Structure 1
């Protein structure tokens, strides 16, 4: 993935960092949310897609799914040193749940190879927004650093 493909930007909050994503579909909105989060930690475009991991996350609504999605990406980093850089995911609504399934590709995060910017501890529900207007999805959330 190249920097020019990124569809996210950052906004200021007190002691945390806000992320805003604007794109034309929900799958890409969640992918961009993950890229934006991990790009706070390192230059995500430098991560090579050497390892593939399966993903399956189910949640009660789009907000819970976003929270669980970013949490899962951070858990992979913190427990397996895995940094995802490419995504092949599908989000669907099934019964009363939202489900993300697919794969993420990336590499073992090694600060000797990939630079280190800052630590992202967690996503928060504080000021989280997910809006769809016409053919545009807008997601805003805050991560604790």
Structure 2
């Protein structure tokens, strides 16, 4: 096949959304990160906390923990249709790891009952930033939609 026979072209596209969180508590910063992510998918304030699940995540640093945390929430949604809306978590540093554990509450995500906005495919490390200034945690990351 010759190049002049090709019937396609490429175009630039943006398929990402940036999320910024500012709060005075690391646990709340991670919760707000998840809420912001899930709110892109549906109206998170309408999800009823009917089902409870335990969670345990262990990562090498705060960046890995944030990535693993948001990824785990998206996996629960994609594999079990479980949409979280309430969180009781604790983040701690133990040895050379960061650990997040606690409970998640939510409901089975049904688009007949809960509004559908868009699909979030994944969180990315691209431009991810976690910092603390004057007792305020600043988290910035991008999700792929």
Q: TM-score, normalization: structure 2?
A: 0.90
Alignment of 1:53-68 (within 5 A): 53-68=53-68
The 3-state SS of whatever aligns with 2:53 is: strand
The 3-state SS of whatever aligns with 2:22 is: strand
What is the CA–CA distance in structure 2 between the aligned matches of 1:132 and 1:40, rounded to whole Å? 26
Return the offset for 1:134: 1.5
What is the CA–CA distance in structure 2 between the aligned matches of 1:15 and 1:73, rounded to whole Å? 20
What is the CA–CA distance in structure 1 between the aligned matches of 2:133 and 2:52, rounded to whole Å? 33
**Which of these two proteins has the greater Rg computed from alpha carbons?**
2
Report the counterpart of residue 46 of structure 2 in structure 1: 46
What is the CA–CA distance in structure 2 between the aligned matches of 1:15 and 1:51, rounded to whole Å? 32
Q: Which runs of 5+ in 2 are unaligned?
A: 1-13
| TM superposition outliers: structure 1 runs of 4+ over 6 Å | none
Report the counterpart of residue 87 of structure 2 in structure 1: 87
What is the CA–CA distance in structure 2 between the aligned matches of 1:104 and 1:29, rounded to whole Å? 15
Return the offset for 1:15: 2.2
Q: Which runs of 5+ in 1 are unaligned?
A: 1-13
Aligned CA-pair RMSD: 1.0
Report the counterpart of residue 120 of structure 1 in structure 2: 120
Report the counterpart of residue 4 of structure 1 in structure 2: none
Q: How many residues align?
A: 133
Q: TM-score, normalization: structure 1?
A: 0.90
| 1:142 matches 2:142 | yes
The 3-state SS of whatever aligns with 2:116 is: coil
